Structures are given as C-alpha cells and as structure tokens.
C-alpha cells in the first residue's frame, strides 16, 4: 500500500499531515529516507517516523474509563461520543464494544476488531460483565435469589441467571451478567422495585478497570490483556 496510507492507518496522522512529514524527510523505509508519500510499502517493511518505528498492527485495543455524559457510539449529531475522547490521531474503523448508557461510567473496550467484539458480546461465550450500582434503597436475599434464578424483567426480557452481591450499605451492589440487553441492569432493578442512581462497569471478562484511569481517559491494552481477550 502507499506509504501515506500505511502511516495514516497506523494512526500516525492525517493523510495531508503525513504527506508533509514525508516531504520534510521525517520518514524512513528500511533505513532509507524517502520523500515521496506515494511509494509502495509492505507490512513487514521497517517504517520509522521521527526515528520511531511505526509497526504494522492490524488491530488495536483501547481500554477507556467512560465518563458520564458521552454516548457509546461512533458518531452522533448532537452529543460527544467516546471516539471524540480519543486523540486526533485516531485510526479509522474504531468502535466501542457494546454500549454503556450515556449516564453509565466505567470500562469500555474500543477496537477495530469486529470478530473479537462479537465473541465478547455473545451470551453464548459466557463473558462476565461486572457492574457496581448504587440504588434508591436497600436490597437483600430476596433480590439475590431472584437474580440468581433468572429474573423475568418484562414481556420482552427474561434475564439469564445473574449474580448479585449486596455490599455495605445495602443500597450498593455488584452485579455480574453475561448478556447486555438494552438498559439491562436498570431494567432488572426496576423489576424488583429499585431505581439505579449510579452505574459503573468494573470489568468485562479478563479486562478490569484499574484505578489509575481517570474518567474520560484511556490506554492501550497490555500484552497480557490483549492475549487474554484474543484467546476467549
């Protein structure tokens, strides 16, 4: 593929920025400075910009701590989306894996790997999603049992068995589910007469939100995290 296309696909800048960078002599291919952004390169060529290797990676994975007030979508005409929180050099084809409501915070995986997204979201694959919720009142053993049995939420949804851990105080809970239906957690609590006042996703399979990621920030997955989700 063309050199500028390669670099822009790897998130090194926009096509026009990259054309300028190449013309300015900032890019080398296999150790040789090039000035033409249209030259053909291969995925295993050693391409460097400003002396730093820009290796070919087909897929990228980001772990974000989604803040409240942004939409889990790739674009929206009115509101900011989670992709707007990525820096300007973002790659094409990125999307959030599953949706968190606008007011929900917490762990969100952003990738361009469609097959992996499908595997993570399919209830058949039993990938646990753990949420912390603060409710408008306490819950206890009755709700724990109802959730464990597979709660009938309404005419359209009977939830798969879910784990409810009641914390201290008893209006704070951890819920573990394996599916991700529209407003699932809020609807499950509504079905037992409780309102969710605050909701945050803590983990998704092997991915855990670490305390160092402030809301609205993100990082690349570590190698261990990446291989853990790829082998799911």
Q: Give the pair of three-digit tokens for residue 178.
A: 């394996």
Residues 72-111: x where in contact with ligand URA by CB under 6 A, - otherwise, as a string: ----------------------------xx--x-------
Alpha-helical segments (H) within the chain: 3-9, 15-23, 114-121, 141-149, 184-191, 223-230
* Pick 71 or 185: Cβ nearer ligand URA: 185
Active site residue 136: no
User: How crowded is the C-beta side of 195, counted as CA atoms within 13 Å?
Assistant: 2
Helix axes 114-121, 223-230, angle to 10 degrees: 70
Token pair belonging to 120: 């993570």
Taking the complex as a whole, the smallest distance from the CB of residue 169 to ligand URA amounts, in Å, to 21
Residues of span 161-190 touching ligand URA by CB under 6 A:
183-186
Contact call for residues 147 and 187 (beta carbons, < 8 A) = no
| CB of 108 vs ligand URA, minimal distance in Å | 10
Residue 30 makes CB contacts below 8 A (sequence gap 6+) with 45, 46
| Number of shown-chain residues binding ligand URA (CB under 6 A) | 8
Give the pairing of strands 218-220 and 61-66. antiparallel
Q: How far is the CB of 80 from ligand URA (least distance, A)?
A: 16
| Residue 50, beta-bridge partner list | none
141: Cα separation from own chain's centroid? 33
Cβ closer to ligand URA: 48 or 202? Answer: 202
Distance separating the N- and C-terminal Cα atoms of the chain = 32
Catalytic residue among 44, 101, 136, 210: 101
- Among 21, 70, 97, 199, the residue binding ligand URA under the rule CB under 6 A is 199
Q: How far is the CB of 72 from ligand URA (least distance, A)?
A: 8
Closer CB to ligand URA, residue 19 or residue 129? Answer: 129
65 in contact with ligand URA (CB under 6 A): no
Instruction: State the nearest-atom distance from the C-beta of 151 to ligand URA, in Å.
Output: 13
CA distance 142 to 122: 28
Using CB under 6 A as the criterion, which residues of the chain lie in contact with ligand URA when the complex forms?
Answer: 100-101, 104, 183-186, 199
Show which residues are catalytic. Answer: 101
């Amino acid at each position: 593929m063309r050199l500028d296309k390669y670099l822009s696909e790897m998130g090194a800048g926009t096509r026009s920025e990259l054309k300028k960078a190449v013309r300015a002599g900032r890019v080398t291919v296999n150790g040789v400075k090039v000035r033409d952004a249209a030259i053909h390169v291969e995925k295993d060529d050693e391409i460097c910009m400003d002396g730093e290797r820009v290796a070919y990676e087909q897929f990228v994975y980001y772990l974000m701590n989604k803040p409240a007030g942004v939409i889990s979508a790739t674009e929206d005409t009115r509101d900011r989306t989670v992709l707007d929180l990525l820096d300007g050099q973002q790659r094409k084809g990125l999307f959030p894996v599953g949706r968190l409501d606008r007011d929900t915070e917490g762990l969100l995986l952003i990738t361009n790997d469609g097959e992996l997204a499908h595997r993570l979201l399919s209830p058949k694959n039993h990938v646990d999603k753990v949420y912390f919720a603060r409710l408008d009142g306490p819950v206890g053993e009755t709700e724990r049992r109802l959730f464990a049995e597979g709660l009938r939420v309404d005419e359209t949804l009977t939830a798969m068995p879910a784990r409810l851990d009641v914390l201290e105080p008893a209006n704070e809970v951890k819920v573990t589910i394996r599916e991700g239906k529209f407003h699932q957690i809020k609807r499950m609590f509504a079905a037992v007469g409780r309102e969710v006042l605050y909701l945050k996703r803590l983990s998704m399979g092997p991915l855990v939100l670490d305390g160092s990621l402030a809301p609205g920030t993100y990082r690349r997955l570590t190698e261990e995290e990446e291989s853990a989700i790829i082998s799911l």
